[in-house]
Amino acid sequence: MLQAAFYMLTVAAVVAHARAATWRALRQHSRHAPRRCRSTASTAALPKHGIFMGTVAAPPPPATSIDEVIAQIQPAALGTPVHASAAPSLLALLVSSSFARHALDPNLPLKVLQRFSANPTASKPLDAVVAVVDRLPTPGGPASGVEGIAYALVTHPLQSLLEAQSPLQSSTTKPGSLSFAITHGDSCRIDAQLPLAQTIFTTGLPSTLLHTRFQFDPLSGQLRKQASQRLESAHIRMPDSLAHGESTLRAQLLPLTVPRRVVSSMGNIIRKLASPESGSRTISASQELEAAVDNYFADRRKAPEAVQVWALIIPPELAGPRAAEISLSAALQNLDPASIQSLWACDGSRGLLGSSPRDDLLPTLVSGARLCKVLSGGGGWGKKAGLLSLDPDSHYSTRELRGDQGWNFTFDGDSSEEMLAAGRKQALGEVTREGESIVFFLATPSDAKEGPNMDMVDDIQHTGPGGIVLGALPASLDDERASENSCQVTHHGWNFGALSEGGLALTIAKDGAPVIQTKADIPYARLHIGSKEVK
């Protein structure tokens, strides 16, 4: 008995000594790391557990090494958990495309954890998700984003935050996606989906997304890799405490037309709209839009050029008395040609609701409206004359959304017309429905990317912790100009997010209401989560 007890005490002492030695080594490693930027947060007195977020902006390699970027991480926790949780801790790392090859380093999550002054894993499993994104948003930074690393660590989630994941298939050729789920209001959940960066030339994969499960080894006091998997997509639920502030979706859009009722449509094809004149007269879908684009260039005295147009599709219930409850919907109902021209005269410096050039679209989308990009329209002969084609997809996939398994036609309908209608709906989707209203918007010229994005969270002017920013970038970004956006390595505490050249999509679920799916892929659109913005 005495020998057994002595043996157990000896083992416990060895374990404690090994654990203490491990964390002493980690702290010594931190002291020899490159000198960090000034920060009001000191890692010496940080709590061991809580929620940590931050972004390190840096010039791309070879001007900056990955070790220099990691050395600037200055973690500061938002509060401490009320109760310990057995659910795995979560570490999410978003790596910009210039540092893509480092995402495949199996020790990257452990290197990041070395920047914490104490063991943040609470001696339990850790889920590490590493994704390569196009660029990162920073407070008051350029609209085109910066290079670097964004991190978010949750040590005691109430439940596993990694809700779903899809393994990478060998047949995949398109980039995958990373989705974040947030709570909006009392009974609304928003899932924001971001396509990942194309990494075929840097990592050999269409996109780079990895999930690694680490287990805590009590003998060594270290985390050991248990399993690792390459993914096509992953779904992360953000803790409700991160959405403590106002969430907004802003995009710089200029109205081209007043709301018109859809009279005839099929799937993503719009045929006829209600005429501006009273009565039952109709016009071709592209007639008013084509004239509005011509008038815009004439009014601004600019030479015609290629433009990007989006359609806001408004359900009938938002075109009536309910519109008064939502400021943007009410402003749209009051649009007339004169007010549209006055907005053109401001050249995009203000939106429908005031001095800000970016109206908040989120309340209107949560109420049932959808955004769709206009793919083609106008011209044509006969029945094809004046048609408008909208983007038929409301989210992103690594495969053709309606072509994975061919067409699934059945003969269970009551009539041939019913079968034909069902087949058309499957082939074309159901983007618009007759009776809905539609407003066309012009994505304002790309001069927004010349200066800083003043809608981003500002470290000095906000009154509380920062937030999460997810956004869209143009498909062809000027790499040389983007690389000049960050000339030094800088840590931005309490800011986390990503910008995607592939766009942004939202799935909105409310209690007792149909699920709403819409893209928000306007260049420089920004979804702010739990942050107080600088107008």
Residue range of the domain that includes 232: 51-172+192-245+466-475+487-502
Identify whether 379 is part of a domain. yes
pLDDT at 466: 67
237 and 106 co-located in one domain: yes
Q: Report pLDDT digits (tens) over 402-458.
A: 544 444 444 455 556 665 555 555 555 678 999 999 999 998 754 444 444 444 333
pLDDT at 277 over 80: no
Of the spans 37-51, 83-97, 191-205, which averages the highest pLDDT?
191-205
Share of the chain above pLDDT 90, in %: 45
- Torsional sign, CA 337, 338, 339, 341: positive
Q: Report pLDDT digits (tens) over 281-332.
A: 899 999 889 999 999 999 988 898 889 999 999 998 886 666 656 677 778 8
Calculate mean pLDDT across residues 41-67: 77
* Cα–Cα dist 518/506, whole Å: 5
Q: Report the mean per-residue pLDDT for the chain.
A: 79
Calculate mean pLDDT across residues 243-264: 87
95 and 199 co-located in one domain: yes
Identify whether 530 is part of a domain. no
223 and 303 co-located in one domain: no
User: What pTM does this model have?
Assistant: 0.82
Identify whether 359 is part of a domain. yes
* Cα–Cα dist 284/197, whole Å: 39
| 135 class by beta-carbon count within 10 Å (0-12 exposed, 13-18 middle, 19+ buried) | buried
436 and 307 co-located in one domain: yes
Identify whether 41 is part of a domain. no
235 and 264 co-located in one domain: no
314 and 376 co-located in one domain: yes
Q: Report pLDDT digits (tens) over 100-152.
A: 999 999 999 999 999 987 666 668 899 999 999 999 999 988 989 999 999 99
Calculate mean pLDDT across residues 174-189: 90
Identify whether 71 is part of a domain. yes
pLDDT at 474 over 50: yes
- Cα→Cα distances 367→311, 345, 361, 509, Å: 16, 30, 10, 10
Identify whether 200 is part of a domain. yes
- Cα→Cα distances 335→277, 305, 307, 342, Å: 15, 25, 22, 11
* Cα–Cα dist 457/530, whole Å: 10
Confidence grade of residue 401 (pLDDT, cut at 50, 70, 90) = low
pLDDT at 48: 56
Confidence grade of residue 195 (pLDDT, cut at 50, 70, 90) = very high
297 and 388 co-located in one domain: yes
332 and 228 co-located in one domain: no
Number of domains comprising the chain: 2
